[in-house]
Amino acid sequence: MSRKIVSLLIIIILSLNLIGCTKNTTSEKAYKKYLSKNATSLDLKDNDDFSSFTLLDKDTKNDEIFLVGESHNIKTNYDIKWKLLKYFKDKTDFKYLLLEDTYVNSLYLNRYLQTGDESYLKKVYMPNKEDYEFWYKLYKYNSQLEKNDKIIAVGIDITSPSTSNDYLISVLESKKLSEPLNKHLDLLKSIKEQLNAFNDNNSSNEEFININKLKYIKEKINITTTEIYKNEQSYKNILGKDSFNFFMALNALRQGFDIFDTTKKYKNLMDMQTEAHRLRRDSAMYENFKNVYNHLPEGKWFGDFGLHHVFQHPIVVNDPNDTLGDLNTKWFSSYINSGDLRIKNKVLSISLLYDDCISAYSGIISSYKKGQPIDQHLKSNCTLVKLNGKKSPYAENLQWNFVDTAIGHPKSGVTTDYFQYVIVVKNGQASTPVDN
């Protein structure tokens, strides 16, 4: 009797193993069959032929914010961003160009787009010559659009407190102020001196951060912003329609220091910034986005960010400096989809993955992991893959085997919970640093 039971158990185990093998084989075939209809080479020529982008067409009707996630400083990125900008403008007539840059800088960029005065463009730091070329092209493109169709830049990233502080000073210096507003200007000028001294003292990565000095500046900024808000109506009366920009810059000044943890001891400024950015940056970006979204007239959005910011679900990433360990980080797009805005769950994320590309400042980038069914569809140096199509296995499974582990790894859900499209870039060359 026991022999029969043992034999039966062996048969059951073998059957289960066979079922597992069959399932895996079928799954592999399912991926290949799906990809045969949902991957295409992209035409990145600067023209109005968008026929290679038709995989995206259906999603342009349903979604309202279209985000591209890249690894920075690769030349091909600019061709992709420019062609996608024109495609989404053609299909959706999006209104707002969302930037991984500060709100104050987007004010300067909009003035450039309105006037063509390059002095405004030079107020914004850009690491690559291709950045400037992008804005030159956008100015020309925008100037040909009707007034109501023109693209408006909107920066939502955290900023150096000095950038916001300088803007606030310049605005108030252009106005005739009475007390106590004039006192506020003096406070902002005092903060500027202290910020300059703090930055000079901590310019070396070998020095420990003076936390007491950091706390002092943070406290002074909080006192100043509180005092200004007590006189909010007076500022609105003086500044008129520019008051929103003023208070966005004021919030950015406070935000620029609030993200730092002043209860810890840091070896250097880079460690402090790394921790602050990883833990609090995307939350601050979402706060800024909510403010501008609720202020601006209704319209669709297109944006270009670093890869992780477009992930719509938290993802575990190991800190490169090993100061934080593994963190299940919630990214900007995750905040949108878990928030209370009308745009919730109307985000389309396109992740750029790279096969042996070169970043001007980071070296070789290979975030696409070879040896997967996608490989056979990479017929050119730029391939679009739709992951959220009809009967997509990526919408039914958490398939991450085409993403290099350095990017991080998800813990739950399915692939399309994180992004809906992938663009695989092969042999991309480095962008051209401005200093070259």
How do residues 218-277 score in pLDDT, each as one tens digit? 899 999 999 999 999 999 999 999 999 999 999 999 998 888 777 777 777 677 777 777
Of 401, 317, 403, 398, the residue nearest 367 (C-alpha): 403
> Binning pLDDT at 50, 70 and 90, where does residue 435 land?
confident
Does residue 335 contact residue 282 with C-beta atoms inside 8 Å?
A: yes
- Helices (H) and strands (E) counted in the chain, each on its own, are 14, 12
- The token pair at 321 is 């400096």
How do residues 378-407 score in pLDDT, each as one tens digit? 999 999 999 999 999 999 999 999 999 889
Which sign, positive or negative, has the C-alpha torsion 89, 94, 100, 106? positive
* Rounded mean pLDDT, 356-361: 96
Does residue 89 contact residue 355 with C-beta atoms inside 8 Å?
A: no
Q: Report the predicted TM-score, pTM, of the whole model to 2 decimal places.
A: 0.90
Q: What pLDDT, on a 0 to 100 scale, did the predictor assign at position 13?
A: 39
Strand ranges (E), 249-388: 301-306, 315-318, 326-329, 347-355, 357-359, 363-365, 382-386
> Binning pLDDT at 50, 70 and 90, where does residue 25 land?
very low
How do residues 130-146 score in pLDDT, each as one tens digit? 999 999 999 999 999 99
- Residues 91 and 234: their CA atoms lie apart, in Å, by 43
% of the chain residues with pLDDT over 70: 89
Domain locations along the chain: 33-94+301-426, 161-279
* Rounded mean pLDDT, 341-355: 97
Q: What pLDDT, on a 0 to 100 scale, did the predictor assign at position 51?
A: 98
In whole numbers, what is the pLDDT of the chain averaged over residues?
89
Q: What pLDDT, on a 0 to 100 scale, did the predictor assign at position 110?
A: 98
**Maximal CA-CA distance, the chain:** 101
204 vs 88, residue with greater confidence: 88
DSSP string across 265-297: --SSHHHHHHHHIIIIIHHHHHHHHHHHHHHSP
How do residues 86-123 score in pLDDT, each as one tens digit? 999 999 999 999 999 999 999 999 999 999 999 999 99
Does residue 394 contact residue 351 with C-beta atoms inside 8 Å?
A: no
> Binning pLDDT at 50, 70 and 90, where does residue 333 land?
very high
Q: What pLDDT, on a 0 to 100 scale, did the predictor assign at position 35?
A: 97
Question: In terms of CATH architecture, what is 33-94+301-426?
Answer: 3-Layer(aba) Sandwich (3.40)
- For residue 243, the number of C-alpha atoms closer than 13 Å in the C-beta half-sphere is 13
Of 225, 92, 235, 121, the residue nearest 171 (C-alpha): 235
Contact residues for 341 (Cβ-Cβ < 8 A; gap 6+)? 290, 293, 294
Q: What pLDDT, on a 0 to 100 scale, did the predictor assign at position 21?
A: 34
Does residue 135 contact residue 185 with C-beta atoms inside 8 Å?
A: no
Does residue 248 contact residue 292 with C-beta atoms inside 8 Å?
A: yes
- Residue whose structure tokens are 């960010």: 305
- Residues 197 and 157: their CA atoms lie apart, in Å, by 24
pLDDT of residue 7 exceeding 80: no
